[in-house]
Amino acid sequence: MSKWSIFNKGRTIGSVSAEGGLILSDEEHEEGARITLKRGTGYVSVSLIVFGWIDHTRFFNTDSDAQREYRAMKPAAVSILSVINTEGISDIKIWEAISEFVRRFP
């Protein structure tokens, strides 16, 4: 079964991202994704990267909203990875899965 694990042995937690946000949580999925929760000045953000496909960042006013969405985005990201890793799948099906994710998590 595929799973999420702490990115880079947790070394990024507490560091400042390139955009200036403090990294609160940072996980990677063994099939090719990374999700990061960051707090900046006046916002909290959740960024999901599906390697080679998308980099999608969302912004929130509260930690609790961002944490809730961070948890909700992880299984949805796994769904995208499942489509990407389906043998013989067309790019259009992958983009449909990504589009559905972005509609669900604007």
Q: Which residues partner with 35 through β-bridges?
A: 27, 48
pLDDT for the residue numbered 96: 98
pLDDT for the residue numbered 79: 98
pLDDT for the residue numbered 19: 86
- Predicted TM-score of the model (pTM): 0.94
How many domains would you assign to the chain? Answer: 1
pLDDT for the residue numbered 2: 67
10-residue stretch averages of pLDDT, the chain, 106 residues long = 89 94 98 97 96 98 97 98 97 98 98
Contacts of 97 (CB under 8 A, 6+ apart): 79, 80, 83, 84
DSSP one-letter code for 17: P
Please report, for residues 30, 75, 80, 82, 104, the alpha-carbon distance to residue 93 in angstroms, rounded to integers and kept in the order given: 21, 18, 10, 11, 17
- Give residue 61's domain range: 4-104
